[in-house]
Amino acid sequence: MLQVSRAMALRLEGQGAEAVVLLGSRVRGDAYKESDIDVHAIGRGPHSKHRLERYHGYLVSVCWMTAKQHRQAFKNPSEVGGIVPAWRNAVIVHDPRGIASDIKRDAKRWRWESLGREADRWVAQEITGWAEEVHRLVGNLQLGRRNAAAAIRSLLAVKMAPILAVHLRILYDSENRLWDLVCRRMGTKWTRTQSTALGEGGQSFEDTCEAAIQLYVSVAREVSHLLNRQQHQVVAHACKIAGHSL
């Protein structure tokens, strides 16, 4: 795997990469046979920000970002949960100017407190924004639009944990671990509800939709003290039409 990484680094250097690092499961040691090699090229690059390719028998994920963009990600509540621990564990393959080493050092020094109140504002904005999907889920269920309802249910089931991760100040490196880490913090009731919303136990369609709504309501209650008056009105009404109180 390191030989493939070094070969990729040489190619990326020729395309303008100032540094090349490895992130992800191959670095953490929890990869399985078909896991990709997650390569980050620091620089502007000749390609789109992200691409996949087959290379020497591996699926390789190549992401181009500038050093400035990486540091900006450390200030973005929606990204820090994954990017900070990823950089802390990064394997530096090519770094002639020490750019990657500096970013890794910044990641190790990073603390949630550096975001100030921005994390709480982001949480409040997110849960308020998802109120619209609760409206849509309730409406589509009433109209018998099962496909639309199923799609919205799935979105709610997936998107509540990332909001809680920021609220609870959880770093997770890989999204594969995110939902389990949130379950550990939230306890048995949340774990069972999330399992039902994700359709893990063969429950009825109606039960999975109700579970997704319950996830939303649970997060809304958990973070209600962060909402301003207008946000509270929006979230409270979404809970009400779904048959719950905030």
Q: What is the CATH number of the domain that holds 93?
A: 3.30.460.10
pTM above 0.85, yes or no: yes
pLDDT of residue 48: 63
In tens, the pLDDT along 145-198 reads: 999 999 999 999 999 999 999 999 999 978 888 999 999 999 999 999 999 999
What is the C-alpha end-to-end distance of the chain, expressed in Å? 51
pLDDT of residue 46: 72
Nearest to 47 by CA among 65, 28, 25, 73: 65
Q: Domain boundary residue among 110, 126, 145?
A: 110
Specify whether 56 is located in the same domain as 123: no
Specify whether 39 is located in the same domain as 151: no
Specify whether 145 is located in the same domain as 192: yes
Specify whether 92 is located in the same domain as 159: no
Specify whether 141 is located in the same domain as 236: yes
Cα(26)–Cα(176) distance, rounded to whole angstroms?
A: 14
Q: What are the distances in angstroms from CA 158 to CA 41, 151, 211?
A: 29, 11, 12
pLDDT of residue 34: 82
Residue whose tokens read 């849509």: 136
Specify whether 170 is located in the same domain as 216: yes
The answer to whether residue 246 sits within a structural domain is: no
The answer to whether residue 89 sits within a structural domain is: yes
Low-confidence ranges of the chain (pLDDT < 50): none
Please name every residue paired with 63 in a beta bridge, in sequence order, or none if there are none.
40, 50
Specify whether 105 is located in the same domain as 30: yes
Specify whether 89 is located in the same domain as 194: no
Burial 199-215 (b: 16+ CB within 10 A, else e): beeeeeeeebbbbbbbb
Specify whether 126 is located in the same domain as 26: no
Residues 106 and 128: beta-carbon distance below 8 Å: no
Q: Domain boundary residue among 110, 143, 168?
A: 110
Q: Domain boundary residue among 48, 76, 110?
A: 110
Give the number of domains in the chain: 2
Specify whether 231 is located in the same domain as 169: yes
Residue 138: CATH number of its domain: 1.20.120
The answer to whether residue 178 sits within a structural domain is: yes
The answer to whether residue 53 sits within a structural domain is: yes
Specify whether 28 is located in the same domain as 85: yes
The answer to whether residue 48 sits within a structural domain is: yes
Specify whether 125 is located in the same domain as 32: no
Host domain of residue 202:
118-241
